[in-house]
Amino acid sequence: MDTILPDKSGSEFPRVLVVDDDPAIVRLVASKLDMSGYRVMTAESGREALECIARDGLPHLAIVDINMPEMDGFAFCRSVQQYADMPVILLTAVDQEEVVIQGIEHFAEDYVTKPFSPRELMARVGRVLRRMGDFAYTLDPIVHVDERLSVDFVHQQVVLNGEEITLTPTETKILFILMRNAGRTVTNDFLLRRIWPLDEIFEDTLRVHIHRLRQKIEDKASKTKYVGTERGIGYRFLVKAQA
């Protein structure tokens, strides 16, 4: 399906991706989101949603049906999780309790059962976005931080001073979370829970990944820093890179 992008530019209008193989549900949810002031992207399968993200950039939030042919909602979420911490609200059938539990543990911030109240869904969208925070940069396919640094989350790479540098999935996801909270300190505990939700990983491991990320995105020649450390607390993406 086509991307619906009303004339609402700027980060004050979060972008929401709706993924469902039922065109009627897609139209209903997209219409309610548009009337509520969101920018809307739509897709009728997980694979189409991935193509939409690659073409138009990541959304601030995705509303995803679990049961879809070709690529279901979980497979779609699993793919995006490789490089971004995109919040998800799952659309589920009433009799899918075990599936819902699996979705909440692995992928989603919230869920809504079908048939659902559009007002309830909009309330949940607003609550999740307030909890997760806005992305400090325009979520284009290529996110331009400044004249030195650009980030391509989908392809897991950065361009630093014209040079393409590949990131690991973990480095990409850490960078996404830090940039989403640019200028604010992200605690070690929060990063550990978002990057490794089901694993017992300690701060030493996180510190190694941060170190490797810094080596890739920070300009050694000009001593430009993009990631600051709040010792014993966490890390902060510097809105204006420090030299």
Instruction: Count CB neighbours of 50 within 10 A.
Output: 18
- Strand bridging mode 39-43 / 15-19: parallel
Write down the CATH number for the domain with range 143-242: 1.10.10.10
Structure tokens belonging to residue 1: 């399906």
- Alpha carbon distance, N-terminus to C-terminus of the chain: 45
Residues of the chain with CATH 3.40.50.2300: 15-132
For residues 186 and 236, the answer to whether their CB atoms sit within 8 Å is yes
The share of the chain scoring above pLDDT 90, in percent, equals 64
Residue type, 33: L
The 8 Å CB, 24+ separation contacts for 194-197 are: 194/85, 195/85, 195/170, 197/105, 197/106
Q: Judge: domain 15-132, CATH 3.30.300.350.
A: no
Secondary structure in 3-state letters for 187-228: EHHHHHHHHCCCCCCCHHHHHHHHHHHHHHHCCCCCCCEEEE
Which residue carries 């929060």 as its tokens? Answer: 190
- Specify the domain boundaries for CATH 1.10.10.10 within the chain: 143-242
Q: Which pTM was predicted?
A: 0.85
Q: What is the mean pLDDT of residues 199-209?
A: 87
pLDDT in tens, 73-111: 999 999 999 899 999 999 987 667 777 787 777 888 999
Q: Are 93 and 22 in contact (CB under 8 A)?
A: no
Lowest mean pLDDT among 69-78, 86-95, 177-186, 228-237: 86-95
Task: Report long-range pairs for 69-72 (Cβ below 8 Å, ≥24 apart).
Answer: 69/21, 69/45, 70/45, 70/46, 71/45, 71/46, 71/47, 72/46
| Dist CA 201 CA 195 (whole Å) | 9
Average pLDDT of the chain, as a whole number: 87
Residue 1 confidence (pLDDT) above 50: no
- Residue pair 38/62 in contact (Cβ under 8 Å)? The answer is no
Are β-strands 185-187 and 234-242 bridged in parallel, bridged antiparallel, or unpaired? antiparallel
pLDDT digits (tens, 9 = 90+) for 8-65: 344 458 999 999 999 999 999 999 999 999 999 999 999 999 999 999 999 999 999 9
Which residue has 């049961």 as its token pair? 67
Residue 240 confidence (pLDDT): 65
> H/E element holding 63?
strand 61-65
